[in-house]
């Protein structure tokens, strides 16, 4: 069963913030192929500022993701020069569009403001860079010995789709931008972009019915994004402290890196769906994002359940993206389990007011 959750800490804001020179109070040697320094520059009652430096000791990188876990309840509240998200104790920092490239022995840094418990603010004990545990030195790799194949490689159908948006073009601000991320081992299937687009159009109709205004969808409605990994990678690579989020956080961060997206993003509301799902996978919305795993993509494509369930689910998650919390009871509104009764569900007047006056109310016309 699909569990919807309102994303707050999981989709942390990226804030441009002036940095100041600070002296290192602590450091940490990091990754197979990298070194990390973690510096607490200043600390005050309830808050602190930290700087994180990464030196790449391995092969050149075109993008980076650094992960660590806090050990004493610390939380990131602002960040600069990286997109930083947090789920429980687990923190993920992803490069910005302008600092993703790291040559061998190249360095990059980012900073953040955080909160702490006024008792203990220990340095994280371990880091990973692009999924590899950090050690502070390079780990040599030796390719396997290969022999000439005894049989011809099998012929397989193409699994990639044509690019759905011309390279270098940018969708208009103030629109809803939708993505289907297709893992490398998932065959292209036109039912997915077509079905997801139909779900979005129905949600667009419903919002106009309820609010007298609605959002604008991009053209094409769904951008097909060819993923960097097989399905199992998205399902089994930890990202956050609960496996419910692994698939959708892995998808979201790849979309952010590839398309220079932010979380939240004042330019667009972003809707991501991926054809990957583990037994524990779910999804949710908040802060201008909707992130959904495989069963929602399947449902939109007409696989598994009646379409009204998927229409209602998208209306519900878009409500979170526009800033609404879950209802506290099954109250007939789509922000409760009443979304399963779609289209026999309606926003309350308070919810309508909150959407229109919220951070993305200007997206509705």
| pLDDT at residue 74, rounded to an integer | 94
DSSP per-residue letters across 103-137? -TT-EEEEEEEEE--SS--PPPS--EETTEE--SS
**Alpha carbon 304 to chain centroid, angstroms:** 25
| pLDDT at residue 137, rounded to an integer | 52
**Residue 80 · residue 112 · CB < 8 Å:** yes
* Residues sharing a CB contact under 8 Å with residue 209, sequence separation 6 or more, in sequence order: none
Domains of the chain (ranges plus CATH)? 34-142 (2.60.40.290), 175-363 (3.40.390.10)
Residue 302's φ and ψ, nearest 5 degrees, are 90, 20
The span from the CA of 316 to the CA of 331, in Å, is 13
Nearest to 162 by CA among 225, 211, 108: 225
The span from the CA of 222 to the CA of 234, in Å, is 20
Q: What is the pLDDT tens value at each position of the chain, 365 positions in all?
A: 334 544 533 443 222 222 222 223 333 333 347 888 888 877 888 888 888 888 888 888 888 899 999 999 999 988 878 889 998 899 999 988 878 888 888 888 888 888 998 888 999 988 888 877 777 754 433 333 333 333 333 333 344 444 445 445 688 999 999 999 999 999 999 999 999 999 999 999 999 999 999 999 998 999 999 999 999 999 999 998 889 999 999 999 999 999 999 998 999 999 999 999 998 888 999 999 999 999 999 999 998 778 999 999 999 999 999 999 999 999 999 999 999 999 999 999 999 999 999 999 999 99
| pLDDT at residue 166, rounded to an integer | 47
The span from the CA of 207 to the CA of 315, in Å, is 8
| pLDDT at residue 129, rounded to an integer | 86
| pLDDT at residue 6, rounded to an integer | 46
| pLDDT at residue 364, rounded to an integer | 97
| pLDDT at residue 221, rounded to an integer | 94
Residue ranges of the alpha helices (H) in 223-282? 231-236, 246-259
The span from the CA of 94 to the CA of 88, in Å, is 17
**Residue 92 · residue 82 · CB < 8 Å:** no
| pLDDT at residue 78, rounded to an integer | 82
**Residue 58 · residue 42 · CB < 8 Å:** no
């Amino acid at each position: 069963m699909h569990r919807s959750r309102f994303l707050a800490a999981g989709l942390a804001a990226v804030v441009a913030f002036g940095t100041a020179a600070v002296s290192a109070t602590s450091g940490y040697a990091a990754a197979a192929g990298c070194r990390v320094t973690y510096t607490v520059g200043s600390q005050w009652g309830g808050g602190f500022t930290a700087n994180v430096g990464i030196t790449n000791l391995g092969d050149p990188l075109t993008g980076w993701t650094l992960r660590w876990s806090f050990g004493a309840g610390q939380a990131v509240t602002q960040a600069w020069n990286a997109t930083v998200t947090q789920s429980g104790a687990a923190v993920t920092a992803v490069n910005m569009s302008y600092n993703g490239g790291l040559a061998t022995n190249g360095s990059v840094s980012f900073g953040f403001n955080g909160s702490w418990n006024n008792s203990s603010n220990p340095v994280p004990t371990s880091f990973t860079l692009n999924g590899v545990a950090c050690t502070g030195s390079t780990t040599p790799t030796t390719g396997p010995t290969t022999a000439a194949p005894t049989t011809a490689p099998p012929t397989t159908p193409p699994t990639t789709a044509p690019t759905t948006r011309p390279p270098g073009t940018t969708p208009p601000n103030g629109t809803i931008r939708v993505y289907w991320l297709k893992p490398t081992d998932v065959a292209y299937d036109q039912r997915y972009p077509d079905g997801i687009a139909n779900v979005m159009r129905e949600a667009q109709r419903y919002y106009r019915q309820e609010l007298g205004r609605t959002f604008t969808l991009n053209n094409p409605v769904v951008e097909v994004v060819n993923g960097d990994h097989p399905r199992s990678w998205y399902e089994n690579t930890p990202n956050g402290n609960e496996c419910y989020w692994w698939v959708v956080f892995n998808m979201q961060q790849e979309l952010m890196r590839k398309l220079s997206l932010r979380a939240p993003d004042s330019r667009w509301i972003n809707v991501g769906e991926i054809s990957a799902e583990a037994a524990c996978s779910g999804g949710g919305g908040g802060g201008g994002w909707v992130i959904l795993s495989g069963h929602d993509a399947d449902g939109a494509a007409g696989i598994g359940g009646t379409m009204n369930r998927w229409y209602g689910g998208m209306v519900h998650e878009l409500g979170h993206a526009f800033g609404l919390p879950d209802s506290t009871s099954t109250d007939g509104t789509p922000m409760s389990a009443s979304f399963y009764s779609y289209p026999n569900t309606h926003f309350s007047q308070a919810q309508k007011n909150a959407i229109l006056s919220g951070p993305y109310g200007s997206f509705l016309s």
